[in-house]
Structure 1
Amino acid sequence: MKQDLIAELALLPVTLGHHLLLSLSALLTGIFICFPLAILISRVKALQWPALTFASIVQTIPGLALLALMVPLLGQIGFLPAFIALVLYSMLPILHNTVTGILGVDRSVLEAARGIGMTSTQQLLKVELPLAAPVIIAGIRTSAVWVVGTATLATPVGATSLGNYIFSGLQTQNPIAVLVGCVAAAALAITLDQLIRLLESSARQHSRRSGMTAGIGLLLLLLAGFAPLMLKKGTTQNGALAPIVVGAKTFTEQYVLAEFLTLALKQAGLPAVSKTSLGSTILFEALAAGEVDCYVDYSGTIWANIMKRSDIPPRAALLEQMTRWLHEKRQVRLLGPLGFENTYALAISKESSLKHRISSLAELSTHASALRIGSDYEFFSRPEWFALKKSYGLQFAEQRTFDPSLMYAAIRTGSVD
């Protein structure tokens, strides 16, 4: 266990640096967008409802869904789709609190400012914003915590983050990796929150000392986070070839296959890196766009999910048609089959099998209405499942989806049959 922890911690500085870069870039951009927008809509009342409603609607979209939507919209994976999604996710608390803070300034104070001859700009800069600062900074605190937490979901769209630990740890049943990712993300969120709290305290108490302390703390955090990235960049800029990027989906077999390919490329004298935990369709689109150079996929997945085919021809014909379609329609070259078959199968616990006397699909069909079935996110939308249901008349009492790494545990604990 100690060795596993040391191995995970060795990867932490660079991963944390990527997470910090993504989070702070999105947070600062959100501030730069929302601050002038909030000032505008505090002056133009007609803009308040549409602007705040838009920010609220964005906030209701689940973080992972918002990140996934950015990939087809932008046509790429990695930093940019994650960055834009997080900017959108950061907006509501900043925009809402800035508008609330400005509009919450006592009217008598504003009357006094106008009475001594202040222009509207002077009134904003010298009266409204200073008095609203505590409320504005409180919104930034909330946004910072949201962004740091949501950034862990950026892994499936190809952005390196602390989510790499969480997703890979979940898939490989590695609780140490999950723990390192969760603790590091929580520590980063708390640190940012407390540093911004110091700025809030400085604004409330007009304390330069608190402001200086917060500024120095943020600077040290930036240096600590970005230094490993700069060191890594310096060691790779030696005129060498760009590394070959090997992709992998979000389950154990894909991690193993990607590692095999990466090692084989390195042994052949070629630079190679792996980019893991990508969503299935996202990974294919990344390959077509040239952001990933190669990965192992499954003919059934490409046939059903990418080509949108529901017929099931013989294996040789399917492979031939798929190869031609990939080359002509997506400019993707199929290097050839690897020689193994990865077919879905229905499994039932020995206890349930004996209890209901089920040893075949035909026998299963007579008891299906009293049983619960579970599978991964993809299977229940595939043509194999529809054909299986139709052929055997399968109608289960409940149909549940799980992360692939949890399916065996679901049977063991009785969550499904």
Structure 2
Amino acid sequence: MQASFATPFVTQGGDRPLFEWRWVERNSDAIAQRLGEHLALTATALAIGLVVSIGLAIVSLRHRRFYAVTIGTTGALYVIPSLAAFALLVPFFGVGSFLSAVIPLATYTLLILVRNIVTGVDQVPRDVREAAIGMGFTRSKLLWQVELPLALPVVIAGLRVAAVTTIGLVTVTSLLGKGGLGYFILIGIQAPIPYPSPIIAGIVLSVVLAVAVDLVLWLSERVLAPWARKAAVR
């Protein structure tokens, strides 16, 4: 169910302050709805991107020639203009479709995540691998129980970059009817008279969301990989 907006596009005398807190009060329900939509798109894209990236990284670690192909392909996808990437899927899934928005968003995370996963695994000390193999670890067990856990700080670092990038890109999907906080930027731009309040609200909330998500991931790294912090202190 779509929220209603009490956006005063015209005021008496045409005078309007740069930002109206009354607009926030009148549209608090809509802001909560769009914030939830923004988070849903971001979380889904990151989850899909991480799963696909882990798969690609595992194959790349097994077959190094595939790594060059993977980086080249994901790099080519990364440089596609975001609006063009979203528009390409509209004929297949329609305007306003969740898939039309989330698939390109997930695609943009692949280059960052694949590279960081492979780099993190490559940085695992050789003596740690040799000790695990000496204890009877199989190749698969070595990867999942030793290499990937030790690579976690580098993986989360890539996830932080991908998350912040995705939060920014979600605002572009407002043109598809799935813009999250970008919706407010769009209605502010499309107003008959320039109306900065929703624009500022959309921008500021997007920045705050990006900082908050980055902080959560940073704290997660400190909890899940405490050894990395101790090594940095040394």
TM exceeds 0.5? yes
1:123-151 CA-partner distances (Å, limit 9, x unpaired): 11222112111001111111111111100
Aligned equivalent of 2:95: 77
Could you tell me which of 194, 215, 222 is aligned with 2:215? 194
1:222-270 CA-partner distances (Å, limit 9, x unpaired): xxxxxxxxxxxxxxxxxxxxxxxxxxxxxxxxxxxxxxxxxxxxxxxxx
CA–CA distance in structure 1, aligned partners of residues 87 and 32 of structure 2: 26
Structure with more helix by fraction: 2
Aligned equivalent of 1:174: 195
Cα shift at 1:156: 0.8
3-state DSSP of counterpart to 1:11: helix
Higher deviation after alignment, 130-139 or 100-109: 100-109
Cα shift at 1:185: 1.0
Aligned equivalent of 1:354: none
CA–CA distance in structure 2, aligned partners of residues 5 and 75 of structure 1: 33
Q: Equivalent residues in 2 for 1:332-411 (5 A)?
A: none
3-state DSSP of counterpart to 1:65: helix
Q: Match for 2:95: what amino acid?
A: I
1:16-66 CA-partner distances (Å, limit 9, x unpaired): 111111111111111111112211211111210111111111111122222
CA–CA distance in structure 1, aligned partners of residues 49 and 156 of structure 2: 13
Q: Match for 2:170: what amino acid?
A: A
CA–CA distance in structure 1, aligned partners of residues 224 and 203 of structure 2: 31
CA–CA distance in structure 2, aligned partners of residues 185 and 34 of structure 1: 25
Q: Equivalent residues in 2 for 1:262-273 (5 A)?
A: none
Q: Does 1:25 align with 2:56?
A: no
Q: Is the 8 A contact 1:9 1:180 kept in 2?
A: no
CA–CA distance in structure 2, aligned partners of residues 37 and 138 of structure 1: 18
Could you tell me which of 152, 165, 175 is aligned with 2:171? 152
CA–CA distance in structure 2, aligned partners of residues 94 and 42 of structure 1: 14
Q: Match for 2:219: what amino acid?
A: L
Q: Is the 8 A contact 1:149 1:185 kept in 2?
A: yes
Cα shift at 1:161: 1.2
Cα shift at 1:6: 2.2
Q: Is the 8 A contact 1:8 1:180 kept in 2?
A: no
CA–CA distance in structure 1, aligned partners of residues 21 and 154 of structure 2: 45
Could you tell me which of 192, 204, 209 is aligned with 1:183? 204
Query: Mind listing any 5+ residue stretches in structure 2 that lack a counterpart?
Result: 1-19, 229-234
Highest Rg: 1 or 2?
1
Q: Match for 1:177: what amino acid?
A: P
1:189-248 CA-partner distances (Å, limit 9, x unpaired): 1111111111111233159xxxxxxxxxxxxxxxxxxxxxxxxxxxxxxxxxxxxxxxxx
Q: Equivalent residues in 2 for 1:102-181 (5 A)?
A: 102-172=121-191, 173-181=194-202
Computed over aligned residues only, the root mean square deviation of the Cα atoms, in angstroms, reads 1.7
Aligned equivalent of 1:60: 79
Q: Is the 8 A contact 1:148 1:185 kept in 2?
A: yes
- Structure ranking higher on relative contact order (CA contacts 8 Å, 6+ apart): 2
Aligned equivalent of 2:17: none
CA–CA distance in structure 1, aligned partners of residues 93 and 28 of structure 2: 33
Q: Show structure 1 runs of 4+ deviating over 3 A.
A: none
Q: Is the 8 A contact 2:170 2:179 kept in 1?
A: no
Aligned equivalent of 1:49: 68
CA–CA distance in structure 1, aligned partners of residues 54 and 183 of structure 2: 32
Q: 1:4 to 1:125 in 2, by over 3 A?
A: closer
CA–CA distance in structure 2, aligned partners of residues 2 and 130 of structure 1: 46
Q: Is the 8 A contact 2:174 2:183 kept in 1?
A: yes
Q: Match for 1:59: what amino acid?
A: Y
Q: Is the 8 A contact 1:59 1:89 kept in 2?
A: yes
Could you tell me which of 31, 37, 42 is aligned with 2:56? 37
Aligned equivalent of 1:93: 112
Q: Number of residues paired by the alignment?
A: 206
Cα shift at 1:96: 0.9
CA–CA distance in structure 2, aligned partners of residues 134 and 9 of structure 1: 37
3-state DSSP of counterpart to 1:61: coil
Could you tell me which of 191, 194, 203 is aligned with 2:224? 203
Cα shift at 1:75: 4.4
CA–CA distance in structure 1, aligned partners of residues 21 and 157 of structure 2: 40
Cα shift at 1:160: 4.0
